[in-house]
A and B are shown apart, each in its own frame.
Chain A
């Protein structure tokens, strides 16, 4: 693949090779629903319901949108039940920061004395190093509606938050 043109031909071939193999294997993937990494509005048709009076259904839709966002935005580093690049998140809402067992935190977070309330989580996701200078989490989520949906999801998987 020496030239740009041949590189692009190569990509086409690459895709066809994997796609062809999947089809040959009887893949169901064409029937899967569309999944987009981007905005809440794109992946969560339920978001406009926030404009309506808040109901249980709307709240759980919000958490469902948050789950997809969580996977797309946080999923490279976190999961609910395993320590990975970052600590595991089940029961994080209401928990003291820096206390998940088996995870090696930065001193910054260990000494922060924060508790993960919805308010602190919102500030953390907007700018972690502002809340705990020196933290190893640099990821920022700039959209307030996305932070709110993810926090709703984290509440839904936390005992203390219910």
Chain B
């Protein structure tokens, strides 16, 4: 069994269960007073949201793992570890919100992969010092801010605001990392998206 087989057990079930998804989502709304699926949506739109939100969960899993690997790498000074752990906490918060949203839509959230998978996927072996680690973090955070903004037009209305909020958090992280790395402030507006 490959690592990716482990992580996305739900996908086939989701596609097959699209019509079931809607009624489960409707039920979840009634039971929990859900703030997401306020308006009735088609089954296709709901399962599309589940797919996209699950990709965002996979992105958050990777970000959380990246900060974990960084914090335990021995390459970072204690003060930097502390900041990284705070940023990691934000990503855990995103992950939890996204998991809740997927479950409220009747889907199954994507699970995280093994630590070994992330070490390999992120090319951790080539990181030699603190600056390398911060550059990787900046690349991931900048990419994540752009990713969330690019997801908005594909997501249902109920998720536009939360995706923008997450993009805001990632942009905040990116700004601090860029500043720490001595990058100059971009002159032009609309830096992300």
> What is A's interface to B at a CB cutoff of 8 Å?
11, 14-15, 17-19, 21-22, 25, 27-30, 32, 34-39, 41-42, 71-77, 79, 82-86, 102-104, 106-108, 127-129, 133-142
Q: Which residue from B123, B129, B176, B191 sits with its C-beta under 8 Å from A25?
A: B129
Q: Is the CB of B188 within 8 A of A27?
A: no
Within 8 A of A (CB), among B1-53: 2-5, 7-8, 11-12, 15, 44, 47-48, 51-52
Q: Is the CB of A77 within 8 A of B55?
A: yes
| B54 smallest CB distance to A (angstroms) | 6
Given contacts A27-B181, A42-B187, 12 further A-B contacts (CB under 8 A): A18-B177, A29-B131, A32-B183, A34-B184, A35-B178, A38-B192, A41-B188, A74-B143, A82-B122, A85-B58, A107-B11, A138-B154
Chain A residues whose CB sits within 8 angstroms of the CB of B150 once the complex forms: 73, 138-141
Does B73 lie at the interface of the complex (its beta carbon under 8 Å from any beta carbon of A)? Answer: no
> What is B's interface to A at a CB cutoff of 8 Å?
2-5, 7-8, 11-12, 15, 44, 47-48, 51-52, 54-55, 58-59, 62, 77, 79-80, 83, 120-123, 129-131, 134, 139-140, 142-147, 150-151, 153-155, 174, 176-184, 186-188, 190-193
Q: Is the CB of B188 within 8 A of A38?
A: yes
Given contacts A32-B182, A37-B142, contact A134 B47 (CB under 8 A): yes
Q: Is the CB of A25 within 8 A of B4?
A: no
Q: Which residue from A18, A27, A85, A140 sits with its C-beta under 8 Å from B154?
A: A140
| A122 smallest CB distance to B (angstroms) | 15
With the chains together, A115 CA to B1 CA distance in Å? 27
Chain B residues whose CB sits within 8 angstroms of the CB of A76 once the complex forms: 59, 140, 143-144, 146-147
Chain A residues whose CB sits within 8 angstroms of the CB of B139 once the complex forms: 71, 75
A-B contact pairs, 10 of them (CB 8 A): A21-B130, A27-B181, A38-B186, A38-B191, A76-B143, A134-B15, A135-B51, A136-B52, A136-B55, A139-B154
